[in-house]
Structure 1
Amino acid sequence: MDLDLAFSAAEALPPELLQAGGVWLDPLQAEAIWQGLLACWLGQLSAELPAELQSQAYSAGLSLLDDAEIAALNADWRGKAGPTDVLAFAAQDEGLDDAPPMPLSSGLEGDDPEDAGEPLELGDIVISVETAARQAGEHGHDLPRELLFLASHGLLHLLGWDHPDEDSLAAMLARQEALLAAVPAGRAIPD
């Protein structure tokens, strides 16, 4: 599965968070590792995607921010004060005609990406590393696992998953756990 990933990480994260995040936050390794993982997950999910999301190539963004940066996005886009753990800005959502432009929009609106030879733009996943670190402690696991959990959640949202009720949430969480099971212990990305 081909994935064009626009990756960014907050430059001002405290050293202890960078250390706790390991290679997932390492400025020299993180982009390639995240790209490999998200492409792997897209490959695993491809058979269950609706026709309009079927593609051989995708484009997406992943931003790892601090609480202040995600709080600003949370206020602007959701009208909610304070930081949150993950936001997903799905480019393929219906009813977005009147929404502001996507942060990393491909400009292919209305074009068939398969015909144009361009990747299908999925949108952007934004994660607060600081919130993820707090939640990791609350859930009794490490920061990398929490980052992976939030990234899988954001990716599923980009692909149309939602959780308006308990049954939908349970199904989404089960799918996330299946994606996480594909990540070998330690950090290695499946080939």
Structure 2
Amino acid sequence: MSSAAAFAIDLAFTGAEERLIHCAEGTGAHLRLSREESWTSTLHLWLQHLIAAGGDSAPAQLQVCEEICLGLQFVDDAQISDLNGRWRNKPRATDVLSFSALEADMPADSSPSVELGDIIVSVPTAERQAIEQDHSLEQELCWLVSHGLLHLLGWDHPDESSLETMLQCQEQLVAMAGIVQSRCEINCESADEITAES
């Protein structure tokens, strides 16, 4: 049995195209949009925290794995609208999509690797929301990715109480990334068990 600190992150990262990056090179937002390393360390920190918290914070499979695999992609509004239409019959832009690969009732096994799924973030929508919320683009990106990650782990917000719990957890995660977070609105879409190829 591995400890929460012993797992590795296998991140399939697709950074934003240059045309979507409107921030200075070397800034936090630029690094988040273009460098896998900034997300690998942040996601490891977040997952380590959630696994250590136990309970419903993270699936049991993560307690015993050696590697956690997930995808993170930054796209434009047209691309996320296409995905939203194809998988959820909602052909409109949204800020974040989560495609979970975990089955909620899947028993823990001895596999050393666990596939979580994919998080897709619209850069133009994130930019607009950062302006609307009067905070940095880096903060918005961390907010959206943390929300997507929680969906991959089985979190949902069908009512106000569960949404409040999820938002509180996101605030903790974003603060762990070194960003002071104020309460934001979230406009996410989640899809379970996406198995067909795009």
TM-score by length of 1: 0.79
* Residue 12 of structure 1, CA deviation: 4.9
Q: Which amino acid letter does the alignment assign opposite residue 16 of structure 1?
A: H
1:63-92 C-alpha deviation (Å, 9 max, x unpaired): 011111101000011111211000000100
Report the secondary structure of 2:68's partner residue: strand
Identity of aligned residues (%): 46
Moved more, 9-18 or 127-136: 9-18
Moved more, 147-156 or 50-59: 50-59
Aligned mate of 1:87, from 91, 97, 103: 97
RMSD: 2.3
Could you tell me which residue of structure 2 aligns to residue 105 of structure 1? none
Distance 1:164 1:184, change over 3 A: same
Equivalent pair of 1:91/1:122 in contact (CA under 8 Å): yes
Moved more, 154-163 or 40-49: 40-49
Distance 1:178 1:78, change over 3 A: same
1:112-164 C-alpha deviation (Å, 9 max, x unpaired): 3xx343x2000000000110000001111011100000000000000000000
Q: Which amino acid letter does the alignment assign opposite residue 142 of structure 2?
A: L
Q: Which runs of 5+ in 2 are unaligned?
A: 1-6, 181-198
Rounded Cα–Cα distance in structure 1 between residues aligned with 2:102 and 2:21: 36
Could you tell me which residue of structure 2 aligns to residue 39 of structure 1? 44
Aligned mate of 1:173, from 164, 167, 174: 167
Equivalent pair of 1:17/1:133 in contact (CA under 8 Å): no
Equivalent pair of 2:21/2:33 in contact (CA under 8 Å): no
Whether 1:23 aligns to 2:35 is: no
Runs of 4+, deviation exceeding 4 Å: 17-20
Q: Which amino acid letter does the alignment assign opposite residue 179 of structure 1?
A: L
Tell me the number of residue pairs that the alignment of Structure 1 and Structure 2 aligns: 167
Could you tell me which residue of structure 2 aligns to residue 150 of structure 1? 144
Report the secondary structure of 1:10's partner residue: coil
Equivalent pair of 2:104/2:154 in contact (CA under 8 Å): no
Distance 1:18 1:52, change over 3 A: same
Distance 1:92 1:14, change over 3 A: closer
